[in-house]
Amino acid sequence: MAHAPDASAAAPADALGEFELIARHFQRPAARAVLGVGDDCALLQPVAGQQWAVSTDMLVEGRHFLAGTDPRRLGHKALAVNLSDLAAMGAQPHAFLLALALPAADPAWLREFAAGLFALADEHGIELVGGDTTRGPLNLCLTVLGLVPAGAALRRDAARAGDELWVSGVPGEARLALGHLRGEWALEPAALEPVLARLERPTPRVALGLALRGIAHAAIDVSDGLLGDLGHVLRASGVGAEVLADALPRGRVLAEQPEARRRACQLAGGDDYELLFTAPAARRAQVLDAAAGCGVQVSRIGSMGGEPGLRLLDAAGRSIDTGFPSFDHFATP
């Protein structure tokens, strides 16, 4: 997009021009799109009987990732968080767009960023079909398009009283790593390494989302904290829920933490990109088969129904205060 040129921002001699940058780092032959990167628009062929699942997520330096973050990991994470939204709808990844503001066209940074991005894209058969590139503070905005058979998407408003509540993986590990990076607590290297990988290289649960179509009722990905994201499902579906705090998976590292820290990470930690979903109790075996089929751990952590709102219970059935805020960019601290 051409706007008023910024005369003060002269490019360094070795920097790439905008079109050279796109051609070198982001243009690859179109595999499935009718027309990919290079024209005014990409062209995608609608598929009979399928709906488009479309989502955008923005990553801003200093807000979603720290300045100096390894570019390969950033390329992975930028796409992973977007693929996670497709997973949470049960959509098959198809194509994506990349809008990029860069302070400078640094070829080494771009090479690493593109390597991280395309490695994950190729793993999921999703194709980059366009975008926008401009100079500015580092900011990445991806738009993903997925396909889902008409009516089969896993929507937030589809939870029903009597459903069981499930979560994939081990929510809370990413927050545990973030607390270490922020100096809130200190983890030993052997503890830090696996949870840091969860923060920096999250695994979008795409295969699980696809396998849960026709089995689960509602799904959401845990990006802002388990209780907060569950709250979105409760409001959209008009049901209540009971969550069993001690049924939450711990993994080795969370299990070693003091209870208050562990619970705060599990219940209110963001950035895990695990799937939180509901399914009828009669489909419990199908849920377990679906998860086993894609090699993902799932845990049954509660049930939907009862009074409206969210009740958190300990192992003895006593109510626990749920006063954990979920992450909100505009909430005053």
**Chain residues in the site for ligand ADP (CB under 6 A):** 1, 22, 26, 37-40, 98, 100, 128, 130-133
Of 65 and 96, nearer to ligand ADP (C-beta) is 96
Residues 3 and 69: their CA atoms lie apart, in Å, by: 29
Please choose which of Mg ion, ligand ADP, none residue 22 contacts, taking the beta carbon within 5 to 8 angstroms, the exact cut-off set by kind: ligand ADP
**C-beta of 22 vs 220, nearer to ligand ADP:** 22
Smallest gap from residue 212 Cβ to ligand ADP (A): 31
**Which residue's CB is nearer to ligand ADP, number 135 or number 232?**
135
Q: Is 7 a binder of Mg ion (CB under 5 A)?
A: no
Q: Which is nearer to ligand ADP, 37 or 206 (CB)?
A: 37
With contact defined as beta carbons under 8 Å apart, do 272 and 174 qualify? yes
CB of 327 vs ligand ADP, minimal distance in Å: 27
Pull the structure tokens for residue 281. Answer: 């109790």
Is residue 150 a contact point for Mg ion (CB under 5 A)? Answer: no
Separation CA 220–CA 213 (nearest Å): 13
Q: How far is the CB of 62 from ligand ADP (least distance, A)?
A: 21
Name the minimum Å distance from CB 1 to Mg ion: 4
Which of Mg ion, ligand ADP, none has residue 17 at its interface (CB below 5 to 8 Å by kind)?
A: none
Q: Of all residues in this chain, which one has the CB nearest to Mg ion in the complex? A: 1
Binding of Mg ion by 328 (CB under 5 A)? no
Q: Which two tokens stand for residue 53?
A: 């699942």
User: Cβ(222)–Cβ(274) under 8 Å?
Assistant: yes
Nearer of residues 21 and 298 to ligand ADP, judged by Cβ? 21
Cα dihedral: 227, 244, 159, 270 (round 10):
30
Q: In the bound complex, what is the minimum distance in angstroms from residue 46's beta carbon to ligand ADP? A: 19
Residues 238/306, Cβ–Cβ less than 8 Å: no
DSSP 63: T
Question: What residues from 116 to 135 belong to the interface with Mg ion (CB under 5 A)?
Answer: 132
In angstroms, give the least distance from the CB of 312 to Mg ion.
Answer: 47
Per DSSP, what are the bridge partners of residue 277? Answer: 166, 219
Cα angle for residues 84, 61, 263 (degrees, 5° grid): 55
Please tell me the distance from the alpha carbon of residue 196 to that of residue 176, in angstroms, as a whole number. Answer: 8
Binding-site size for Mg ion (CB under 5 A) equals 2
**φ, ψ at 236 (rounded to 5°):** -65, -35
Residue 41 interacts with Mg ion (CB under 5 A)?
Answer: no
- CB-nearer residue toward ligand ADP: 19 or 185: 19
If binding is defined by CB under 5 A, does position 17 make contact with Mg ion?
no
Binding status of residue 157 toward Mg ion by CB under 5 A: no
Length of the chain counted residue by residue: 333
Q: What six digits make up the tokens of 72?
A: 């390969």
Residue 118, binding choice from ligand ADP, Mg ion, none, Cβ under 5 to 8 Å by partner class = none
Q: Which of 208, 204, 325, 181 is nearest to 267 (CA)?
A: 325
Residue with tokens 């711990």: 250
- Contact positions toward Mg ion, by CB under 5 A? 1, 132
